Each structure stands twice: as structure tokens, then as C-alpha cells.
Amino acid sequence: MAQVKLQTSWLRGDLMSSTKLLSNDEGSVERAMQILIANRKLRFRFMKHDSWENALFVHWPVDPAVMKANLPKGLEPDLYNGLAWVGLVLLTERGVSAHQQIGRALIRPIDHFGANVRTYVTRHDVPGIYFWSLECTSILASFGARLAGIPYFPANMSRTVDIEHPLTDPATSSDSDFVFTFESRRSGFGQQPTVSARWRLGEAATEGVEDAKWTEKARFFVERYSVYCSWPLGKGPVLLRGDVEHPSWPLQHAIVDALDAEPLLAAAGLPHLTQGSSNEARHVCFSRGVGPVEFWMLEPV
């Protein structure tokens, strides 16, 4: 697998920014996390997901100045090819629970569908994700996340054709037979934001030149191990960062046959960000999933 260059930073005592090559192997991801975690103030994990599965990633380019105006103070857009990006991710989250065994014993792990609207940012040269909204079929998970400042919303969702192969299986040509559908409507009275999509799976990425460019861009989006949010309730003055540990995402192409994300983008205050972006400008990829996923406690930054 060709190595992929990602803009990132490594904290060694004093804050120092540098660039590191990140290949699609578990060793490089593990080393990245070791450096990041070693410089945390709060040194404990508080949540665990058994896996994130069957994830569709769709991204559109956005003018950096427009993106910056939509971010909390203290966050800078993280650019790829001089552009900011807004992303939509549709996935299944399994085994959501507290990290500690006593918590997992008291509250049974939850499986739920999810849809999130996000972008990519830096704070003191540490790259991460900033979420505008996360739809979720679990009221309990939504409530807990909102207490921490992450803007979760309970929603009614349905999806079809979850892949039942083990996550370690390679993509094959037979994957093209799988057709996914995903529908979501935020819970509540009256007109609520929705998102719907229909897509087919493509082939796994190769080491060819065109696929190498596609993979480089995809990994800029998906290989993110920090999350930023504003506290309280996702709109307050306190900026928090939480770190996330999981294996590197396996990636393959996907063909989107239908997508209506405008209502969800409008609810996040972003309807203008993707206007004028053609289907050719957007980037689409799919992953069978990763796991386990472990969350380090949010801390002020």
C-alpha cells in the first residue's frame, strides 16, 4: 500500500508541529495515538464502541473563509488542496457503552444507526473533527453525548443490506451486488431535518496513480483521532478536545445513486456551503468498519 502524507502534529513536551507519513497499517496509527495520548491532561478512557460498521463518507469542497466563519473561535479549517471540506457520514455503531466494566455491567451496550455532519479543523496544530450535528437512534446515547457538549439528536432511522462478512474480509467484485439504503428523520414535532441515500459498493482501492490520489484524499478525511466541541450543549464558550483510538479504516469505492442531504445541512446552518458543488467535485468512499473504538475523556484546550 502506498504511503499517504497527512498534515498532522506531534506533541513532544513543548508544542511542535511537523509532518509525518501515515501508511495504512496498524503500527503507524498506534504510534500516532501513543504520542497524542502521552500529552493529555486527563489520562483515562470513558467510553467504548465495539465497532463502527458500513460507513459511507461523502465530502464537498468549501471556501476556507466561509468555513472559518462557521466555526467556533479557536478552531481553524484544516485544508486539503487549499479547500475546506464538509462531510456527511452514515454508519452503524455497535456495542456503545461506558469503558469501565462496571459501567458495561450496569448499562447494557447499545447498537444504533448514526448520521453526522462534520468538518476538519486544527487547534494548536492538532488536527481533528468538528461536528455540527450527529443523528442517533438511541435516546440514551444522545442524552449522554449532549451533556459532554457533543451535539447529538435522537432520530428515527432505517437502513438495509448491512454487510455480514467479517471486517477483515477483502473487498471483492461481488460487493457490487450490495445496495444500501439509509433514511433518517430527526425526532420531534412538525417538520424535522432528514437525510436519505442509496448507494452501491465499488472495488477496493489499488496502488495505481489515480487510486493513490483518491486514497490520499480519503485518508485525510477518515484518519482523524481527535474530536473538538463547544461546551456546554455544543454552543458554549469552552472548547474541548477528546481523543479516539481505533484501527485504520479499510476503504473502498462506492457509487451514490441518490442522496438528499440538504435538509440536514440546512438544520446545521450550512445549506450554502455545498451549493454549486457538482457531483464531480464531491468525494465518496465506503468502509466495512473498524473496531474496537475507545474514547479518551474530553478536556479543555
Comparing CA positions, the residue from 276, 301, 282, 281 lying closest to residue 66 is 276
The Cα 1–Cα 100 span in angstroms is 36
List the CATH code of the domain at 45-300.
2.40.400.10
**Is the per-residue pLDDT at 6 higher than 50?**
no
**Is the per-residue pLDDT at 23 higher than 50?**
no
Grid coordinates belonging to 12 = 513532544
The Cα 185–Cα 192 span in angstroms is 6
pLDDT at residue number 120 = 98
The Cα 67–Cα 50 span in angstroms is 33
pLDDT tens for each residue of 105-144: 567 888 999 999 999 999 988 899 999 999 999 887 777 7
H or E element that contains 35: helix 26-38
Give the mean pLDDT of the chain: 81
Question: What is the model's pTM?
Answer: 0.84
Grid coordinates belonging to 231 = 461546551
Q: How far are the Cα atoms of 40, 130, 198 from residue 17, in angstroms, in the given order?
A: 16, 20, 40
Q: To the nearest whole percent, how much of the chain has pLDDT over 70?
A: 78
Q: How confident is the model at residue 103 (pLDDT cuts 50, 70, 90)?
A: low
H or E element that contains 98: strand 84-98
pLDDT at residue number 114 = 95
User: Backbone dihedral region of 82: left (phi > 0), alpha (psi from -120 to 50 degrees) or beta?
Assistant: left
**Is the per-residue pLDDT at 290 higher than 70?**
yes
pLDDT tens for each residue of 234-271: 677 899 999 999 999 999 999 999 999 999 999 988 87
**Is the per-residue pLDDT at 190 higher than 60?**
yes
pLDDT at residue number 26 = 54
Query: Cis (ω within 30 of 0) for the bond into 232?
Result: yes
Q: How confident is the model at residue 277 (pLDDT cuts 50, 70, 90)?
A: low
Q: How far are the Cα atoms of 11, 108, 153 from residue 140, in angstroms, in the given order?
A: 35, 11, 10
pLDDT tens for each residue of 159-185: 997 555 545 555 554 566 788 999 999
pLDDT at residue number 106 = 65
Q: How confident is the model at residue 191 (pLDDT cuts 50, 70, 90)?
A: confident
pLDDT tens for each residue of 33-52: 777 777 777 777 888 999 99
**Is the per-residue pLDDT at 8 higher than 50?**
no
Q: Domain residues of the chain, as ranges?
A: 45-300
pLDDT at residue number 154 = 92
